[in-house]
Amino acid sequence: MVDLGHHLGLTVVVEGVETVEVRRRLAEMGADRIQGYLLSRPMPVAAFEQWIADRPVRMAELSTEAETSAPERIEDRER
């Protein structure tokens, strides 16, 4: 599905990611973004605004050294 999305010119967002292992595998597959409980549980808008303001690093910077060798990392390409 990741390959199909990319061939259609789409940004691939994978939902329901709950573990670091799944995130790593998705990065190896070339997924562009993830969403799910691994990052955060659902929250009200005001709580989200504070949560995002308090983040010391962007999602792209959360990769470990081992993950940087993956063909594509999950990253926030809009920043």
pTM of the predicted model, to two decimals?
0.61
Convert the pLDDT of each residue in 26-76 to its tens digit.
999 999 999 999 988 999 999 988 988 888 766 554 444 444 443 344 444
The range of the structural domain enclosing residue 63 comes to 2-69
3-state helix, strand, coil in the chain (%, to 5): 40, 5, 55
Number of domain units in the chain: 1
Q: Does residue 76 belong to any structural domain of this protein?
A: no
Does residue 78 belong to any structural domain of this protein?
A: no
Contact of 36 with 15, CB cutoff 8 Å: yes
Place of tokens 């061939």: 7
